[in-house]
Structure 1
Amino acid sequence: MARLRAWAPLGALMGVVALVCGAVIGGFALLDGAGTGGGTGTGRGGGGKGDGWWAPGAQDRIRIGDAEPVSSDPWTGTWATAPAGAEPGAPTGHPGRSIRNVVHTSIGGTGVRVTLSNLYSPTALLIGHASIAIGKDGAGAGNSDSGSGSGSSGDSGSGAEAVAGTMRKLTFARQSSVTVPPRGQIVSDPVELPVPYDGDLLITLYTPAPGGPVTYHPLALQTSYLAHGDRTEDLEGAAYTEPTGFWRYLTAVDVLNRDSPGAVVVLGDSITDGDGSRHGANHRWPDTLAARLRDQHIGVLNEGIRGNRVLADQSRRGCGESGLSRFRRDVLGRAGVKAVVIDLGVNDILRGGVADPAAVTAGLRELTRQAHAHGVRVIGATLAPFGAYGGYGDVAESVRERVNEEIRYGGVFDAVVDFDRVLRDPYAPDRLRPMYDSGDGLHPSDAGYEAMGRSLDLAALEGGRVRARL
C-alpha cells in the first residue's frame, strides 16, 4: 500500500474516477468497548491486516464483512471539506499570492495526495506552484472569531511554519503547474511524506494570474494564511502576514496507509461543521469520532457546511449545494469511504420553511439509496432541538419531531445515532441542555460536541455488509 506509483499524464484527472470506484467495500473491523466509549490512542502503532477486513490486533476485534473491494485503489481520506460557494470579494481570485491552507489530519500515512476544486468558477484556475509540508504548530494556529474570514489580528504567522525536512513540491501529471478547468477539480501526483496522525498539514498554492471566483469553505475554524508572491516552499511563516478563517480550493487530502480499512464520511450542516466550537481546537463532533477511530487507522472526513439543506441549493449564500446534489461528489467521491453518517434536515425546517416531514425524510431516503448503490453503509442522526433559536415555532417543532420519529422507527437509515436525546434538556425537550448550548440555542458547545462524538455506537459503522447495487 505504501508503494508510490508513477501516473500517466492523465492520471491526476483519472484519480477522481478512481475515488468513486473505490467506494464499494462492506464494513470495518471495529471494537470500542460497548460502542459508546472509545480509545483515543494515536494509532501510530504497527500491525498488519490479516485476511479479510481485520484491524491491527485482530484477536481483540470482530471480523465483519467478507466482501472484496471492486478497486485496488490504495488511498484513504485523512481530511476533507465541502466546497460551499464562491468567496465574496474575490471575483478574480488572489493573483500573485500564495495561499497556505492549514488542515488537521485524522490518520497518517507514508504518502499523500491532494484534491483541488474550481467548482464555483466559470474560468480556468492556474496553479503556478504548489507544496505540502507538516505544520510545526500541530495544535492549531490561531484564536480568531469563527464567523469572519480573517484570523486573529495578533497572529504572527507562526502557524504557517513547516517542520524542517518535510517540505515537498506537489506536481500534477509530473508538471509543477496545472490549469484546473472551469467547474472542475484535479488530483495531484502522489508524494512520499510521513504524514502524522492527529497533526497539521500545510498545503500551499501559488496563483500567479487572475482567475475566476474562489471555491472556498467559509467555516474552517482553523487559521490559514496568505502571502504576497510565490512563497510556496517557505519553511518559515514570516511572509504569511494575513491570517484567514477560510479554506480555499483544497477539498481533500488522502494518504497511503497499509493498516487502514477505510474512511467514514460525515455529511451535515453547521452542527457537523462545528459552529459554536472553539476556534483552532479541533473540537467538532467528527473530531471526537476521529479520536475514537484513530487507533484502528480509520479516517474521518468532515463534509459539513454551515446552512446546508437536504433539498435546496444554498451555494449562492456560501452554504453549498443540497445534500442530494453533492452526495456523489462529497461522499461517494472520497477515497476509501465505507460508511457515511448523515446529520441534515434542520435548515430545511428552520430556514427553508418545509412543513411536510415526508419531504425531508424522502430526501434522506434517497441519500441512503445512493449510498447503497455503491455499497456504503448509512448511519443517520436525529435532528437536535432548537427551541431557543430565532425562527422557532410550533410548526417547526412538530415537523422536527415527526422527522425524528421516522428516523428512529421508519427504516430511513441502516442505523441511527440519536443526537436529539443526547443534547436535549430533559426539563425542556425542545431545547438544548444548558451545558451543551454554545449560547445561541442551536449550536452545541464544545461539551455538546464531545457528547455527540461519544454517543455514536461504533458497532453501527460495521453492521452487516451492504451489497453494491450498480
Structure 2
Amino acid sequence: MTRHRGFALLGALVGVVALVCGAIIAGYGLLENGLSTASGTASGPGTGRGSPADGSRDARTQGRTPVGRAAPASADAWTGTWAAAPAGAEPSAPIGHPGRSIRNVVHTSIGGTSVRITLSNLYSPSALLIGRASVAVGQGSRGSQGVQGRLGSRGGASSAEAVAGTMRQLTFGRGPAVTLPPGGQITSDPVPLRVPYGGDLLVTLYTPTPSGPVTYHPHALQTSYLATGDRTQDLDGAAYTEPTTVWRYLTAVDVLNREARGAIVTFGDSITDGLRSSQDANRRWPDILAARLRDQHIGVLNEGISGNRVLWDAAGHGNGASGVARFRRDVLGRAGVKTVVIDLGINDILRSGETDPARITAGLTELTRQAQARGVRVIGSTLTPFGAHRGYNAVTESVRDQVNEEIRSGRVFDDVVDFDRALRDPYAPDRLRPVYDSGDGLHPSDAGYRAMGRYLDLQALDDKAPAQL
C-alpha cells in the first residue's frame, strides 16, 4: 500500500467515526430536549423559566424529571398519588409565613419506591424562597394494613410525627433551596422512599423570608401544622404546636411504582372536595374510589375546589379559576392521568346565577374536547339534587334538570355517572335522600360520599375512548 492510499484510508475511517459520534450526540440532544420540555421546572406565566435560589443555575435544570403521560404508567414513568388544586391566595398571610416551617399532611392513594412533589406560587405577585424541604411517612400510616401492606391507614387523627427512618431531604436541581417566581411552580428532584398505599405523608417546607400571599387550598379536611424556625428534619411533632386546616404551596405528589396503571383525576367543586365530610377521616368520595382501586394500582387525584364553577373565575374568593381555565393545569398536567371524572356546574347555577343551561353544557363539552385531544377518557356526572338548599327555586331546578338531560343524552362526555340518581330521594327527586344529606340540603354526608364512591362503575373508568387528535 502506498503512503498516499494509506492516508486516504485513514481519512475515510476518521470520517465514519465522526459521523457515528455526531449521530450519537444529536440523539442525546433530542432526548435531553425532550426531557427538558416535559419536566416540571420553576416557571412564571408566559416565560417558562424561573430564578434559582442562588442565582447561579438556570431554572431549566431544576426538577428535571419526566412527567407521566395519558397512557398507563410503566416502570419508568411517574404516577400521581395525591393532588390538591390551588384555589387562591390565603387572605390571612399577605407576606407568607416567614421564618416558619409548614408541615402539610397528605393521604396517598397508591404507594411507590420513590417520590417527588410539586410546589406552586400561582397566586403571588412576589417570588417565594423555599429554604429547605423534606418528605417523610407520617405516623398516621401505621394503621391497619391490607395485603402486602398496601391498604395503609383507614383514616384517623392526623399527626405531625414522622416514622423513624423515613425522613428525606428534598432538593431542586440538586440544591436544597429554590426560588419560585411569581405565578410559577416547580417539581422536586426524586428521592427514594417506600411510600405506603393509603398512608400519610408529611411534606415540610421552610420559608425563611417574607414573600407574597400564600397559594393555598382552603378546605383540606386534613390537619396540617406550623412550627417556628427550620424544623423540616424533625421526626417528632413537638415543635408543630399550631394546627391548621389548609394545604399551602403543595399541589401534587407523584410516585414511581412498577405495578402502577396510571391515575384518575376527579375534577369538580365542593362535592368533589369533600366539604362537610368528617375531618381527618378521608371520607370524600374520591377517597372511597381510591380504596376500591388500590389493588389495581391506580392513583386517584382529587382536584375539587369548593365553590368552583365551569365558566366563572372565583379565585379572588378562594374558589379557584374557572373549570375551563384550570383544566389543562389541574388535570392534563398531572402525572400518569388516563381518565378524568367531572362533577361540576352546580355553582354556576347557585352562585353565578347562570340561567342558560346551554352555556354550562358548552363549557363541560369544552373540557371533554381538551381531554380527548390528549387521549384522556372523560366520565361526567349529572348534577346532584339541592331541593332543600336555600338556593333552590323553580328557575335553578329547571336549569339543573336541563343540564342533566343533556348530560344523560351522551352528547357531553365519553360516559356518564348518574350521581343525581345515586343520591336523590325517590319520594322527592329534587332533594337528597335524608341519610345522604349532611344537613344543608346540598352537600352529602359521609354516607352520601360513600354511596358516590361506590356507585362509579370501575369498568367504565378503564374503557377506551378514541382520542380526537
* TM-score class, shorter: 0.7 to 0.9
- Decide whether the 8 Å contact of 1:23 with 1:376 is kept in 2: no
Question: Does residue 1:84 correspond to 2:84, yes or no?
Answer: no
* In 2, Cα distance between equivalents of 1:450 and 1:172: 39
- Decide whether the 8 Å contact of 1:9 with 1:174 is kept in 2: no
* In 2, Cα distance between equivalents of 1:464 and 1:103: 31
What is the one-letter code of the residue matched to 1:244? T
Structure 2: 5+ residue runs without aligned partners? Answer: 1-34, 40-57, 144-155
* In 1, Cα distance between equivalents of 2:63 and 2:302: 23
Match of 1:97 in 2: 100
Distance change >3 Å, CA 311–CA 132, structure 1 → 2 = same
What is the one-letter code of the residue matched to 1:451? A
Give the 3-state SS of the residue equivalent to 1:23 in structure 2. Answer: coil
Q: Report the TM-score, using the length of structure 1 for normalisation.
A: 0.83
Bigger relative contact order (CA 8 A; separation at least 6): 1
Match of 1:10 among 60, 66, 84: 60
What is the one-letter code of the residue matched to 1:277? S
What is the one-letter code of the residue matched to 1:207? T
Shift of 1:137: 1.9
RMSD: 2.0
Greater shift in the superposed pair: 458-467 or 321-330 = 458-467
Match of 2:437 in 1: 437
1:176-325 map, 5 Å: 176-325=176-325
- Decide whether the 8 Å contact of 2:410 with 2:416 is kept in 1: no
Give the 3-state SS of the residue equivalent to 2:267 in structure 1. Answer: strand
Q: Deviations over 1:398-447 (max 9, x none)?
A: 00001001000142101100000000011111100000000000000000
- Decide whether the 8 Å contact of 1:23 with 1:375 is kept in 2: no
* In 1, Cα distance between equivalents of 2:383 and 2:201: 33
- Decide whether the 8 Å contact of 2:84 with 2:252 is kept in 1: yes
Moved >6 Å (runs of 4+)? 5-9
Match of 1:450 in 2: 450
Q: Deviations over 1:333-374 (max 9, x none)?
A: 000000000000000011111101000000000000000000
Question: Does residue 1:426 correspond to 2:433, yes or no?
Answer: no
- Decide whether the 8 Å contact of 1:139 with 1:280 is kept in 2: no
Give the 3-state SS of the residue equivalent to 1:122 in structure 2. Answer: coil
- Decide whether the 8 Å contact of 1:13 with 1:187 is kept in 2: yes
Q: Deviations over 1:207-254 (max 9, x none)?
A: 000000000000000000000000000000000000000000000000
Shift of 1:468: 5.6
Distance change >3 Å, CA 259–CA 11, structure 1 → 2 = farther
- Decide whether the 8 Å contact of 1:91 with 1:213 is kept in 2: yes
Shift of 1:89: 1.3
* In 1, Cα distance between equivalents of 2:349 and 2:234: 47
Match of 1:23 in 2: 69
* In 1, Cα distance between equivalents of 2:61 and 2:295: 32
* In 1, Cα distance between equivalents of 2:76 and 2:95: 36
Q: Deviations over 1:429-466 (max 9, x none)?
A: 11000000000000000000000000001111112243
What is the one-letter code of the residue matched to 1:12? Q
* In 2, Cα distance between equivalents of 1:386 and 1:317: 22
Shift of 1:175: 0.2
1:76-155 map, 5 Å: 76-138=79-141
* Bigger proportion of residues as helix: 2
Shift of 1:14: 5.0
Larger Rg computed on CA atoms: 2
What is the one-letter code of the residue matched to 2:69? A
Give the 3-state SS of the residue equivalent to 1:216 in structure 2. Answer: strand
* In 2, Cα distance between equivalents of 1:86 and 1:101: 17
Greater shift in the superposed pair: 283-292 or 407-416 = 407-416
Q: Kindly, what percent of the aligned residue pairs are identical?
A: 71
* In 2, Cα distance between equivalents of 1:88 and 1:441: 28
Match of 1:337 in 2: 337
Question: Does residue 1:363 correspond to 2:332, yes or no?
Answer: no
What is the one-letter code of the residue matched to 2:377? R
What is the one-letter code of the residue matched to 2:270? S
Give the 3-state SS of the residue equivalent to 1:121 in structure 2. Answer: coil
Greater shift in the superposed pair: 169-178 or 456-465 = 456-465
